[in-house]
Amino acid sequence: EDLRPLTRFSGIEVEFIKPPLNGRALPGEVAHAARAVVRGLVLAMMEQPDVSRIRTQWDCDGENLLINVRDDGGGTLAADAPSISRLDRRVQALTGHLQIDVMPGWGADVLVTLPLDPPTRPARGDIAGWNLAARELEVLQHLAAGQRNRTIASTLGISENTVKFHVRNLFKKLDVSSRTEAIALAHNHGLR
């Protein structure tokens, strides 16, 4: 349903193969990221010439969500395109993997693997490499705890605009483009 508005006037058929009913329930963070990744891939594929059909499929192997998105275009989807690079960073923030197979004349086939569970041992060492100011780290910890800007501002005794300023700085320093990516990255590094 999320993809219908994107394709209504494009003339491109988007097919979603329903996952098996016996699969494991998806954690909210994984489901949200997966929807965003599929949407981004569909948009990137729609920008190619000669695409008339895109097929998306989700499955689960018990430990990972497996996403497959294929198009029938000319095989011009570039793995180093900015839109694909952003999606790859989002997938990596969740310790996942994105693989693109481009077949000239046949289209592109993208496989995304997202773990359903957080890593067993968070890697705390990389946090120092982020070069966060003390206040930015505090804001990130509150973000990771799921708090909204208004609550963070109240807790830290600062304005909501100051929180927004810190969040923008965090996005730059962490090389992410959304709160979800920042939260996933923080969780992967042991911040809760």
**pLDDT score of 126:** 66
State yes or no: pLDDT of 53 exceeds 80: yes
Helices (H), 16-159: 28-46, 82-93, 134-144, 149-156
**pLDDT score of 123:** 47
pTM over 0.75: no
Distance in angstroms (rounded) separating the CA atoms of residues 58 and 30: 12
Task: Determine the 3-state secondary structure of 75 from DSSP.
Answer: coil
Both structure tokens of 21: 């009913």
Give the pLDDT confidence of 85-96 residue by residue, as tens digits. Answer: 888 888 887 788
User: What percent of the chain is predicted at pLDDT more than 70?
Assistant: 87
Give the pLDDT confidence of 111-138 residue by residue, as tens digits. Answer: 999 988 755 444 444 677 788 888 999 9
Domains in the chain: ranges and CATH? 4-115 (3.30.565.10), 125-188 (1.10.10.10)
